[in-house]
Structure 1
Amino acid sequence: MLKTRIITATVLLAVLLPILFLLPAFYLGVFFLIALTAAAWEWSRMIAPQAKWAAVLYALFCLVVILFLLGMQAVAWQFSLLMIAVLFWFFIAPFILAKGMDLPFQRFKAFYSIVGLIILPATWFALIFLRELGLVFLLTSIALVWVADIGAYFVGKAFGKHKLAIHISPGKSVEGAVGGLLLCYLYAFLCVVYLPLGDSLFGAWAIRFGWVPMFLMVTVLAAFSIFGDLFESQLKRLAGVKDSSFLLPGHGGVLDRIDALLPTMPIAALLAGLI
């Protein structure tokens, strides 16, 4: 399994790194578009595993939504989509997670179908907006999610005793979440100190609003990175699957890799817009 994971990660890096650093931003947008279309296919497969052609149509429809809003060049519509996604994560997703495994999944399938067509396109537009602000701006925003995950994993392994959401994701602990948050604080501090202030969301917020609002922003982003992970874990458990798909051998599916980005990137994009 480890060998398979390493091979898959190596192939992905061999594709992604040249796109990031050698090619125009357009190609990164295409890469994200392919990834989120694949994630839409996985999303539909989890909701209705027997309807294989429906998953293809769902992925194509998600692609059409993105291309339509892009082709219309209606910034207000794109902003509205981001806002709807953020409102969902703040005000609706908590109630869904609170239900745990008691959610009547069959009755919620149509709801999940609509949600996917909002949060997946919104994530793409958020990533593109952050890329327009600069490659470093995008990468430092994404890296916060990785830092939160790494901190939560190692601190949870070492000190985790109190389960965060035992019925949804038994491996996550309160101690791990706190450890991930503290590591995010350190990461954001280093970004502000060692990067030009306008090159990261953290530096831009620190210079515009001050250190305390910047750390509050980091708290929100780190919390919602865990939120996104839990939300997808809940969906997988309700659907009765271990991974969202087998598109990435050794890693599961695309959704398994980007679940924490689904809430954090739209939120980060709107927070960047405030500056």
Structure 2
Amino acid sequence: MLKTRVITAIILLAIFLPVTLFAPVGAFGALIAFVVVFAAWEWARLLKLGGAGPVIYALVAAVALVASTRLGTGVEEPRPLFQAAAIFWVIAGPYVLLRKPTLAQGAWRAFLFLAGIVVFVACWHALVAARMQGVAFVLSLLLLVWLADIGAYFSGKAFGKHKLAPAISPGKTWEGAIGGWLVVMIVAAAAAFLHAFEPTLYSALLAQWGAVRTLLALTLLVAFSVVGDLFESMMKRQAGVKDSSGLLPGHGGVLDRIDALLPVLPLAMLLLG
């Protein structure tokens, strides 16, 4: 299992890293579009859409993405789209985690099919907009989520005692979430102090919001990375599956890798708008 996981990670890095670092924005956007369409396919599967339904839903997401913009440079940030995605995560996200409605039936299912299109298209636009601000900027945005996740994992292993959401994801703890937040704060402070690789998400927030509000903004983003992770965990739990799919051997599915990014991306771009 570990060998498979490592091999998959190496292959993914070999594809995504050169495209992110060196390819034109259009090529980066095309690659992210490919990822988003597969994530939409998994979203439909978790909502128990049978037969060819998930494929059709993925095609609808692809058409919506293409209709929203062209895959290339000169893309304008669609703030209304970011706002719609942010409203979903700020209102529906916590509500679902607290009340735990059945997501794959009735009105919730229909709502999540519609909301999913908005979420995935907003994800694409946010990543492309971040890439247009520079390689360091988009990497710093991704790094925030990765650091929060890694910090939470190791802090939870070392200190975790109080369950964060036992009915949804029993492995997550409050100590882990706080540890992830601390790691993000430390790295952001170090990057700001050293003025490393600017412009980054951290330097942009600091310039626009000042130190105290930047701390609050980063705290908000870390918190919603947890919301995104738990939201997908709940979808999987209700669907009775461990992973969103088997597309990435050893890692699960695409949604398993980007769930925490889905709320963070539009929120980050709105904070800098």
Cα 1:157–1:31 change in 2 (3 A) is same
Q: Give me the whole-angstrom Cα distance separating, in 2, the residues matched to 1:249 and 1:243.
A: 11
Report the counterpart of residue 7 of structure 2 in structure 1.
7
Report the counterpart of residue 221 of structure 2 in structure 1.
221
Q: Secondary structure at the match of 2:44?
A: helix
In the alignment, does 2:123 pair up with 1:123?
Answer: yes
The one-character-per-residue Cα deviations of 1:111-157 (angstroms, maximum 9, x if unpaired) are 22112111111111010111111110110011000000011100101
The one-character-per-residue Cα deviations of 1:160-208 (angstroms, maximum 9, x if unpaired) are 0000000000000001111111111101111212235851121122133
State the shift of 1:25 in Å: 1.7
Q: Which amino acid aligns with 2:193?
A: V
Q: Secondary structure at the match of 1:161?
A: coil
Q: Give me the whole-angstrom Cα distance separating, in 1, the residues matched to 2:264 and 2:147.
A: 13
Report the counterpart of residue 105 of structure 2 in structure 1.
106
Cα contact 2:147–2:180 (8 A) shared by 1: yes
Structure 2, unmatched stretches of 5+, are none
Report the counterpart of residue 185 of structure 2 in structure 1.
185
Farther-moved stretch of structure 1 (122-131 vs 110-119):
110-119
In the alignment, does 2:245 pair up with 1:268?
Answer: no
Q: Give me the whole-angstrom Cα distance separating, in 2, the residues matched to 1:124 and 1:5.
A: 26
1:1-275 equivalences in 2 (<5 Å): 1-49=1-49, 51-71=50-70, 75=76, 78-100=78-100, 103=102, 105-107=104-106, 108-195=108-195, 198-273=198-273
RMSD: 1.8
State the shift of 1:48 in Å: 2.0
Cα contact 2:103–2:235 (8 A) shared by 1: no
Cα 1:188–1:167 change in 2 (3 A) is same
Q: Give me the whole-angstrom Cα distance separating, in 1, the residues matched to 2:13 and 2:75.
A: 33
The one-character-per-residue Cα deviations of 1:212-234 (angstroms, maximum 9, x if unpaired) are 11111110010011110000000
Q: Give me the whole-angstrom Cα distance separating, in 2, the residues matched to 1:241 and 1:179.
A: 28
Q: Which amino acid aligns with 1:65?
A: A
Q: Give me the whole-angstrom Cα distance separating, in 1, the residues matched to 2:152 and 2:4.
A: 24
Q: Secondary structure at the match of 2:249?
A: coil
State the shift of 1:81 in Å: 1.2
Cα contact 2:161–2:173 (8 A) shared by 1: yes
Cα contact 2:103–2:109 (8 A) shared by 1: no
Calculate the TM-score normalised by the size of structure 2: 0.94
Q: How many residues align?
A: 270
Q: Secondary structure at the match of 2:60?
A: helix
Q: Give me the whole-angstrom Cα distance separating, in 1, the residues matched to 2:125 and 2:240.
A: 30
Q: Give me the whole-angstrom Cα distance separating, in 2, the residues matched to 1:9 and 1:198.
A: 27
Q: Give me the whole-angstrom Cα distance separating, in 2, the residues matched to 1:159 and 1:196.
A: 31
Q: Secondary structure at the match of 2:52?
A: helix
Q: Which amino acid aligns with 1:205?
A: L
Q: Secondary structure at the match of 1:52?
A: coil
More helix by share: 1
Q: Give me the whole-angstrom Cα distance separating, in 1, the residues matched to 2:47 and 2:254.
A: 16
Cα contact 1:20–1:28 (8 A) shared by 2: yes
Cα 1:203–1:109 change in 2 (3 A) is same
